Amino acid sequence: MLRGETSKPYFRDLWAFVEREREAGPVYPAPEDLFSALRLTPYARVKVLILGQDPYHGTTPDGRGQAHGLSFSVRPGVRVPPSLQNIYRELQEDVGFKPPRHGSLVSWARQGVLLLNAVLTVRQGEPNSHAGKGWESFTDAILRAVNEKPTRVVFVLWGAYARKKAKLVTNPQHVVLESAHPSPLSVAKFRGTRPFSRINAALEEAGETPIDWQLPAEPEVA
């Protein structure tokens, strides 16, 4: 689906930039996790797209990054970040979710939830450090490709940054859910929006299997 995109000059420049950044210092996620969202949720299986901004930039006690290529998700063994804690609280109120002790959302990805960040890499400790380098063009191409699917997809856009992408969703069979971001700065406006039950209602209306939002007690290996 993206072969034409990866052969464009901007993508070659982007790839060279990321390689230089990795030579200079830690960049997250690790190379093997860079395209985890696309690998775990193949195009044919995409039913929901939850758009984040850029990967977590923090480091774990063992020296690895928190990020593992899925928006809002962290690798097993990493403390659940504040935004994801707020997502868990909303899930509890919305669908009776029981929060696990981990923050891995691999289970959702395997069910057809494309957990996509608009920017796919970040320098350690420097949020948004790889913004404006070309990732946005690449992930916009992913959004456009998903928009072309003939079956319903629910696009979930949290926060002002993600909501700007609503213009890329033009096919009438799709559903766009917009709200405030679940970060601590805007959680008061996020709370009570009930996105997870609304996602499943939209899927069922289109004859699609709903998402089982309950995460396993033990994280799945990506």
What is the Cα–Cα distance from 51 to 206, expressed in whole angstroms? 22
**Mean pLDDT over each residue of the chain, to the nearest integer:** 96
Catalytic residue among 33, 54, 62, 212: 54
Q: What letters, b where the CB count within 10 A reaches 16 and e where it falls short, cover 21-52?
A: beeeebbbbbeebbebbbebbeeeebbbbbbb
What is the Cα–Cα distance from 111 to 109, expressed in whole angstroms? 5
Which pLDDT tens digit goes with each residue over 8-42? 999 999 999 999 999 999 999 999 999 999 999 99
54 is catalytic: yes
What is the reported pLDDT for 155?
A: 98
- Only one residue has tokens 């804690």, namely 85
**Contact call for residues 183 and 83 (beta carbons, < 8 A):** yes
E strand or H helix that includes residue 107: helix 106-110
What is the reported pLDDT for 49?
A: 98
What is the reported pLDDT for 116?
A: 98
Which pLDDT tens digit goes with each residue over 134-184? 999 999 999 999 999 999 999 999 999 999 999 999 999 999 999 999 999
Question: Is the pLDDT score of 222 beyond 80?
Answer: no
